[in-house]
Amino acid sequence: MKPHAVHYTIRGIPPEVDKALRKLAARKKQSLNQCVVEQLVSATVGQTVKADFSDLVGRWVDDPEFDDIIASQRRIDHEKWQ
Protein backbone atom coordinates (compact mmCIF):
# COMPACT_ATOMS: atom_id res chain seq x y z
CA MET A 1 0.00 0.00 0.00
CA LYS A 2 1.29 3.46 -0.92
CA PRO A 3 1.86 5.85 1.99
CA HIS A 4 -0.19 9.03 2.08
CA ALA A 5 1.23 11.56 -0.38
CA VAL A 6 2.15 15.04 0.82
CA HIS A 7 1.27 18.12 -1.24
CA TYR A 8 3.69 21.01 -1.80
CA THR A 9 3.31 24.48 -3.19
CA ILE A 10 6.67 25.70 -4.43
CA ARG A 11 7.33 29.32 -5.32
CA GLY A 12 10.29 31.08 -6.87
CA ILE A 13 11.23 28.48 -9.50
CA PRO A 14 13.84 30.06 -11.80
CA PRO A 15 12.60 30.39 -15.41
CA GLU A 16 15.41 28.19 -16.75
CA VAL A 17 14.44 25.39 -14.33
CA ASP A 18 10.77 25.72 -15.30
CA LYS A 19 11.70 25.54 -18.98
CA ALA A 20 13.90 22.48 -18.45
CA LEU A 21 11.26 20.64 -16.40
CA ARG A 22 8.52 21.39 -18.93
CA LYS A 23 10.75 20.25 -21.78
CA LEU A 24 11.59 17.03 -19.92
CA ALA A 25 7.91 16.38 -19.09
CA ALA A 26 6.94 16.86 -22.74
CA ARG A 27 9.72 14.57 -23.93
CA LYS A 28 8.68 11.86 -21.46
CA LYS A 29 4.97 12.49 -22.22
CA GLN A 30 4.25 13.11 -18.54
CA SER A 31 2.42 15.74 -16.59
CA LEU A 32 4.63 18.46 -15.17
CA ASN A 33 3.69 17.30 -11.67
CA GLN A 34 4.74 13.71 -12.35
CA CYS A 35 8.02 14.89 -13.85
CA VAL A 36 8.80 17.13 -10.86
CA VAL A 37 7.97 14.34 -8.40
CA GLU A 38 10.29 11.94 -10.27
CA GLN A 39 13.08 14.51 -10.26
CA LEU A 40 12.66 15.16 -6.52
CA VAL A 41 12.65 11.45 -5.73
CA SER A 42 15.69 10.85 -7.91
CA ALA A 43 17.60 13.75 -6.36
CA THR A 44 16.82 12.79 -2.77
CA VAL A 45 16.50 9.02 -2.43
CA GLY A 46 18.14 8.02 -5.68
CA GLN A 47 15.43 5.88 -7.16
CA THR A 48 12.21 6.47 -9.03
CA VAL A 49 9.01 5.34 -7.38
CA LYS A 50 7.05 3.15 -9.78
CA ALA A 51 3.42 2.10 -9.62
CA ASP A 52 2.98 -1.42 -8.31
CA PHE A 53 -0.06 -3.26 -9.62
CA SER A 54 1.18 -6.73 -8.70
CA ASP A 55 -1.70 -7.20 -6.26
CA LEU A 56 -4.14 -6.88 -9.19
CA VAL A 57 -2.39 -9.21 -11.63
CA GLY A 58 -4.39 -12.34 -12.36
CA ARG A 59 -7.47 -11.18 -10.47
CA TRP A 60 -9.80 -10.60 -13.45
CA VAL A 61 -13.25 -12.07 -12.90
CA ASP A 62 -15.75 -12.23 -15.75
CA ASP A 63 -19.01 -10.49 -14.90
CA PRO A 64 -21.63 -10.95 -17.65
CA GLU A 65 -24.09 -8.63 -15.89
CA PHE A 66 -21.52 -5.81 -15.88
CA ASP A 67 -20.72 -6.48 -19.54
CA ASP A 68 -24.43 -6.19 -20.39
CA ILE A 69 -24.70 -2.86 -18.55
CA ILE A 70 -21.67 -1.45 -20.39
CA ALA A 71 -23.02 -2.72 -23.74
CA SER A 72 -26.36 -0.99 -23.10
CA GLN A 73 -24.57 2.30 -22.44
CA ARG A 74 -22.80 2.06 -25.79
CA ARG A 75 -26.04 1.75 -27.78
CA ILE A 76 -27.11 4.91 -29.59
CA ASP A 77 -30.72 5.95 -29.26
CA HIS A 78 -31.27 7.31 -32.77
CA GLU A 79 -34.58 8.99 -31.80
CA LYS A 80 -32.72 11.23 -29.35
CA TRP A 81 -30.18 12.20 -32.03
CA GLN A 82 -32.66 13.56 -34.56
Mean pLDDT of 30-50: 87
State how many domains the chain has: 1
Cα dihedral 65, 66, 71, 76 sign? positive
58 lies in some domain = no
Task: With respect to residue 62, please indicate whether it lies within any of the assigned structural domains.
Answer: no
Q: Is residue 15 part of a domain?
A: yes
53-65 pLDDT, tens per residue?
777 788 888 999 9
Q: Alpha-carbon distance 6 to 51, whole Å?
A: 17
51 SS3 class: coil
Residue 30 forms part of a structural domain: yes
Q: Is the whole-model pTM more than 0.75?
A: no
Residue 6 lies in a domain: yes
Parent domain of 38 = 1-50
- Provide mean pLDDT across the span 45-54: 74
Query: In this structure, are residues 59 and 49 in contact, taking their beta carbons and an 8 Å threshold?
Result: no
